[in-house]
Amino acid sequence: REPLLRVRDLKKYFPIHKGILGRHVGDVKAVDGISFDIYPNETLGMVGESGCGKTTAGRTILRLLEPTSGKVYFRDDSIYDLKTEQMRALRRQMQIIFQDPFSSLNPRMTVESIIGEAIEFHGIAKGEERRSIVESLLERVGLQPSYVTRYPHEFSGGQRQRIGIARALALNPDFIVCDEAVSALDVSVQAQVINLLQDLQEEYNLSYLFIAHDLSVVKHISDRIAVMYLGRVVELATTEDLFENPLHPYTQALLSAIPTPNPSKKKKRVILKGDVPSPINPPSGCTFHTRCPARFGPCSKVVPRSVEAEPGHFVRCHLYDPEYAPTDPEVWARM
């Protein structure tokens, strides 16, 4: 199976300037070398605490932000090498659903204009024809076609997010970045919107990059999950493998915080010390070493590489790298 999207060593740094002369004093390393594939009809979940770079990653992958370095291939196209016109054509196939359904819809536009804007811009339809496309999109996301004349403030959060989904679907895309798409909604509404996204995936053969800060949210929709910490993917595995056999100490800590319905499977709660360090001056070596209960010899000096610890299960941690793996059982006992 060929991937739909290939991300290779992608970096996005934001320069920091100080003083009247705007002297460059450093960079915020929001995304610091991430690589993965997304397959047709697949959902890749992306999780991590706020500030770990997942939203920047989603936007850079769509080229809403230009990268510092690295490549993204959509089918055979290297997207950062495309000219404006070519990128505009490709944009129809790559869409985004934003986090906040309250601020991502223009309050002065009707639902018809919000969803239909791109349909007209790309020359697909206008007038009556556009309206009937918008009506059928509304129906498809579980809203009444008659809502076309209404404004965003007339809807609940869940309904607004359905409008956001209809807008993303309007150009018949293959790939959608769902950027914290359900995080602002109540738990019961979250489940409805996730079900809708899953139905649409089946129907339109969509691939999703589903970004969230909560592992229990991505669990239900993702085929595979990438765990991010300070701009890097520290673990990537199928959802089942990640939940059954988390390898990275950070993933283990995230998972241990999720209440389990089966007490016999309860794992020791790992409490992480401190907050996520600043991405301006990240810790040396493994950026997680300042909080890691298992850190040992090389952790503060050597940047861990990504190793395939089990087939299809990638982890960036010296514990699993044959070159550094500790023989001292005391290190493993700390996990």
Binding site for ligand SF4 (CB under 6 A): 248-249, 286, 288-289, 292, 294-295, 299, 304, 317-319
Instruction: Give the three-class secondary structure for 36.
Output: strand
- Spatial contact of 69 and 80, defined as CB atoms under 8 Å apart: no
Amino acid at 316: R
Q: How far is the CB of 140 from ligand SF4 (least distance, A)?
A: 44
Q: Which of 52, 61, 54, 63 is nearest to 211 (CA)?
A: 54
CB nearer to ligand SF4: pick between 69 and 245: 245
Q: How far is the CB of 294 from ligand SF4 (least distance, A)?
A: 4
Q: How far is the CB of 296 from ligand SF4 (least distance, A)?
A: 6
Q: How far is the CB of 295 from ligand SF4 (least distance, A)?
A: 4
CB nearer to ligand SF4: pick between 187 and 333: 333
Rounded to whole angstroms, how far apart are CA atoms 47 and 147?
A: 34
Q: How far is the CB of 289 from ligand SF4 (least distance, A)?
A: 4
Instruction: Give the three-class secondary structure for 209.
Output: strand
- Spatial contact of 229 and 57, defined as CB atoms under 8 Å apart: no
Rounded to whole angstroms, how far apart are CA atoms 213 and 190?
A: 14
Length of the chain: 335
Q: How far is the CB of 227 from ligand SF4 (least distance, A)?
A: 11
- Spatial contact of 318 and 325, defined as CB atoms under 8 Å apart: yes
Sheet containing strand 5-18, strands side by side: 23-38, 5-18, 69-74, 77-78
CB nearer to ligand SF4: pick between 131 and 291: 291
The structure tokens listed for 332 are 């493993």
CB nearer to ligand SF4: pick between 17 and 305: 305
CB nearer to ligand SF4: pick between 204 and 324: 324
CB nearer to ligand SF4: pick between 95 and 290: 290
Instruction: Give the three-class secondary structure for 234.
Output: strand
